[in-house]
Chains A and B, each alone.
Chain A
């Protein structure tokens, strides 16, 4: 089976966030997703890029964000990496908990998990890799949360 793969190395800027979102929308459209799914995929990538630029690389101009899209027969696989200190997903508060509902931040990872079929967060001392998968022919039975 052949696969189409493309990757980008991007600066830690707001422009990167917008570019990542636009590119994700284009890739999702090319993969045949409908308008609603395209919106979800591009928004998940936007949120992932925000995390990478702001929380991972902290706008550090010496640090880069890499964004990769791989299209297989069944999936659109998106991987975004930063060069920050590593995101500990276990420490992210549940934004739906009553005490957190009115917080002004902390919903990015939640939205990514809501919009994508599989989400894996791999932190290390050299940065965080966020891997997201959307099934091209979505079968709800296939949807699962990957272990972190």
Chain B
């Protein structure tokens, strides 16, 4: 299954609802293009909702790192929401869990962005 992406605005934060697989090829490209598009439009508070992402490979992990770094370098913030156990475990073993700002509650996550 390929990846789907849709965006919505909540209190100045762009929530990106992702579903499917973030893997080498289409999934990684969708994530990359979505984040770059948001940043180019000045939407720099980005919350990636990974609740329906059931699989991610090393390429997908790389895209998450790239998205995080790109947002930060442009003065933005990118946070992760609703990690599945698989994605959570992958970020743990790659020591990236503490690098990303990971949230479990959407409302609290939205409030956590810099005003």
Contact = CB atoms under 8 A, between A and B. Distances in A.
Main secondary structure of the interface of A (DSSP, over half): helix
A101 B68 CA distance: 12
A104 B65 contact: yes
A39 B90 CA distance: 12
Interface in B47-105: 57-59, 61-63, 65-66, 68-69, 86, 90, 93-96, 99
Interface residues of A, number: 20
B94 A96 contact: yes
A73 interface: no
Interface of B: 23-25, 57-59, 61-63, 65-66, 68-69, 86, 90, 93-96, 99
Interface of A: 14, 17, 39, 43, 46-47, 50, 54, 95-96, 101-105, 107-108, 110-111, 114
6 contacts: A39-B86, A50-B24, A96-B95, A107-B61, A107-B62, A111-B90
